[in-house]
Structure 1
Amino acid sequence: MTLPEIHALLAAEFGPDVIREEEATGLMPYLVIGTSRIADVCRFLHDHPKTYFDSLSCLTGIDNGPAAQTFEVVYNLYSIPYEAPLCLKVRVSREENTEIPSVSSVWKTADWHEREAFDLFGIRFSGHPDLRRILLPEDWEGHPLRKDYDEQERYHGIQVRY
């Protein structure tokens, strides 16, 4: 299926306000999904016989900076039987309490990807089975891939900032 066909299929299932098609010059085209519907949309894309996106290749966060006050979570999907890629994005506020529904019940690999986005950006995934740091120690201060991250001077007596 082409991106416009997938967009039409999702709009018919979830309504025109939930999904919108984006085109960016020189970038992979993508669909923007409403935060509250991302898990439902992913389950639909995984289970639907015309799409069957059986692989979550990557899930990552993007910090649009303090001025924009938003994060993006990017989902790169792939349908192995149809040899088709799809990119989805969710935009959320940078507020500390912002949560995105977990897609770990759709693809097991999302467990690790979501933990990494939480660890490095502070993005929370509701319904995640074990949302805790994966790369940094549990008592690390802050989230180092945020554009407003202020690196700590010392960690347990070890100088980490030079």
Structure 2
Amino acid sequence: MAKLDNQTLIGHLQKAFGSDISSVEEPFGLLSIQVSKERILSILAFLKDDKELQFIYLTDITAVHYPAQALSIAVVYHLHSLVNNIRIRIKVFLDGAKPEIPSATSLWNGANWMERETYDFFGVIFEGHPDLRRILNVDEMEVFPMRKEYPLEDPNRVDKKDFFFGR
């Protein structure tokens, strides 16, 4: 078997999924692709089950909030092929008003807590998740703290005024 590199990997993906992969980048040598939420489970399953690729290790699931974009929530999956020693990042952009995506718990049991954490901090609903509830924040919390919807500092704070520092 030839050494698996980013070019070979993207060749496999484009052969199997073609136009379903909407963006391909390689920041700092890490292959990053963008796909739709309708195809995410089939792409994840392909990467995991393919005998040559063997991306059996789900490293992380998280999200990023881009408040200026129409599709403002990006769910990000990091996979690692331990056999081939190569990683891939997969991004799925969702509507911030109703961020819903299929759950990856059917592929990896370890996705359970990663998805709960992403729900807890970003409000992403993982459809089909067996127990989607808050994991780190209090159950009564009604906001999602990692969204960039609030000012970083309280504008009414007086302890940071220049006159306190002799300016």
Shorter-chain TM-score: which interval?
0.7 to 0.9
Give the deviation of 1:19 after TM superposition.
Answer: 4.3
Distance of 2:149 and 2:78 partners within structure 1 = 26
SS of corresponding position for 1:9: helix
What is the alpha-carbon root mean square deviation over aligned residues? 1.9
**Aligned position for 1:46:** 48
Equivalent residues of 2:21, 2:33 under 8 A apart: no
Equivalent residues of 1:7, 1:20 under 8 A apart: no
Distance of 2:113 and 2:58 partners within structure 1 = 11
**Aligned position for 2:89:** 87
**Aligned position for 1:5:** 8
Distance of 2:31 and 2:50 partners within structure 1 = 21
Task: Decide which of 20, 27, 49 is 2:23's aligned counterpart.
Answer: 20
Letter in 1 for 2:53: T
Letter in 1 for 2:110: T
TM-score (norm 1): 0.83
TM-score (norm 2): 0.80
Any gaps of 5 or more consecutive residues in structure 2? Answer: 153-167
**Aligned position for 2:165:** none
SS of corresponding position for 2:39: helix
Equivalent residues of 2:41, 2:102 under 8 A apart: yes
Length, aligned pairs only: 148
SS of corresponding position for 1:144: coil
Task: Decide which of 46, 57, 60 is 2:62's aligned counterpart.
Answer: 60
Distance of 1:81 and 1:17 partners within structure 2 = 26
Aligned 1:148-159 pairs, distance under 5 A? 148-149=149-150
Give the deviation of 1:27 after TM superposition.
Answer: 7.0
Over alpha carbons, which structure has the higher Rg? 2
Letter in 2 for 1:145: M
Distance of 1:52 and 1:143 partners within structure 2 = 34
% identity of equivalent residues:
34
Deviations 1:73-122 (A, max 9, x none): 11111111111111111111101x23111111111111111110101000
Distance of 2:20 and 2:78 partners within structure 1 = 22
Equivalent residues of 1:10, 1:19 under 8 A apart: no
